[in-house]
Chains A and B, each alone.
Chain A
Amino acid sequence: GENVEQHPSTLSVQEGDSAVIKCTYSDSASNYFPWYKQELGKRPQLIIDIRSNVGEKKDQRIAVTLNKTAKHFSLHITETQPEDSAVYFCAATPFMGTSYGKLTFGQGTILTVHP
């Protein structure tokens, strides 16, 4: 089945700096890659996603890049703000195979933005 590795596990930045979180996946059939943000005590919420037919997607200060050949994808947050502090999860799911129908999550990255 699919296996998703996420790095780093913790990330500390100053307000205004950029933050990058990287994930690798194992199943070459994976074709959908969402990113979720979970603030302390709250439920995870989708912040951006990318499908395998595109290499990059941007939404204001957030962008995701995908390298299907290397089987990795990354979340980029620019001009970070204290309200970006949260746990971020990447995930992947394939369109076929034994992992079809399952969304596999990375272990999470605790991002702290210092004012």
Chain B
Amino acid sequence: DGGITQSPKYLFRKEGQNVTLSCEQNLNHDAMYWYRQDPGQGLRLIYYSQIVNDFQKGDIAEGYSVSREKKESFPLTVTSAQKNPTAFYLCASSVRDPTDTQYFGPGTRLTVL
């Protein structure tokens, strides 16, 4: 579990502001993922990346952006275009692809004021 970290744990943002959530892993995993967790809706995939400098949209990518400049890092930016950004955000990584075990970070709880 300690191999994947997210910061900050809690984040407050004013409407209209962009905010970036950090995700770092030292597991030497190729694949990284961002999920959003809302009560009663499970985990929904925002973006995923299977290799450096490449990433794909998940099911709810609108209003979010990512980058993958380093293998260890996969930051998520929540833009002002995201209509309902208040949620719990989870980052995960796996060795190569989704059929490998995904290891989750501790999450960031974002609240838009």
Q: Which residues of A contact B (CB under 8 A)?
A: 1, 6, 9, 31-32, 34, 42-46, 49, 51, 89, 91, 93, 95, 101-108
Contact = CB atoms under 8 A, between A and B. Distances in A.
14 contacts: A1-B59, A6-B42, A32-B99, A34-B102, A44-B90, A46-B101, A46-B102, A101-B50, A103-B45, A103-B102, A104-B59, A105-B35, A105-B43, A107-B41
Given A43-B90, A107-B42, A108-B40, 15 more contacts: A6-B42, A9-B40, A43-B105, A43-B106, A44-B43, A45-B104, A46-B102, A95-B99, A102-B48, A102-B58, A103-B102, A104-B45, A105-B43, A105-B44, A107-B40
A102 B40 CA distance: 20
B15 interface: no
Contacts of A105: 35, 42-44
A89 B101 contact: no
Q: How large is the interface on B (under 10, 10 to 19, 20 to 34, 35 or more residues)?
A: 20 to 34
A26 to B, nearest CB: 13
A101 B104 contact: no
Nearest to B33: A103
A90 to B, nearest CB: 9
A107 to B, nearest CB: 5
Contacts of A93: 98-99
B65 interface: no
B42 A32 contact: no
A102 B102 CA distance: 12
Nearest to A51: B99
Contacts of B28: none
